[in-house]
Amino acid sequence: MPATRVGVLALQGDFREHIAVLRGLGADAVPVRRPEELSEVAGLVIPGGESSVMDKLSRAFGLAEPLKEAIAGGLPVYGTCAGLIMLADRIVDGIAGQQSLGGLDVAVRRNAFGSQVDSFETDLDIPAVGAEPMHAVFIRAPIVETVGERATALARVDDGRVVAVEQGNLLGTSFHPEITGDTRFHEYFLAKVRSRV
């Protein structure tokens, strides 16, 4: 059986790390920069980076509308950090003119934990991906301020703020599992992709 082809949005950010993790899990992971490449994948990861830059580039490359259509059509998509912001229906503190792709019934706040120097690591209980706590790395991370009726919170930090959400085929995390060696979120995402192939 051929490997499942999964795209990683490669306009900006740490897309190479996601490609490496997905390939390590047996997926045919490819960079996506053009609309025609998007049509060839069964799932998509939107990596961490700078959400406002990613937004501008996705529009400049003609990807924003095809991405919105694919999300609305049920394409499994996993967004980490900036990718979570891109998937959110509402951005609480976006820069002037910033747009998201939408799909996740959540409102997010950019850089909610502060600047780069306020980056931190912690262990999270995430029953959806297993009983063992997951070590999570937060780098200029967003926070999910409100979770709408259609979305489900998967993980919270100690103060109760939501840092992982799920809604149908969509997943979003404030943290970066692609850099910790714990592949459970990517495995969880690939299971969604393979269930639709």
Active site residue ranges: 81, 176, 178
- The amino acid present at 70, given as its one-letter code, is A
Strand partners, 152: 166
User: Residues 156-159: contacts with CB within 8 Å, 24+ apart?
Assistant: 156/124, 157/122, 157/124, 158/122
Q: Would you give the distance in Å from CA 68 to the centre of its chain?
A: 14
Q: How far apart are CA 31 and CA 19, in angstroms?
A: 8
Question: Within 13 Å, how many C-alpha atoms sit on residue 139's CB side?
Answer: 16
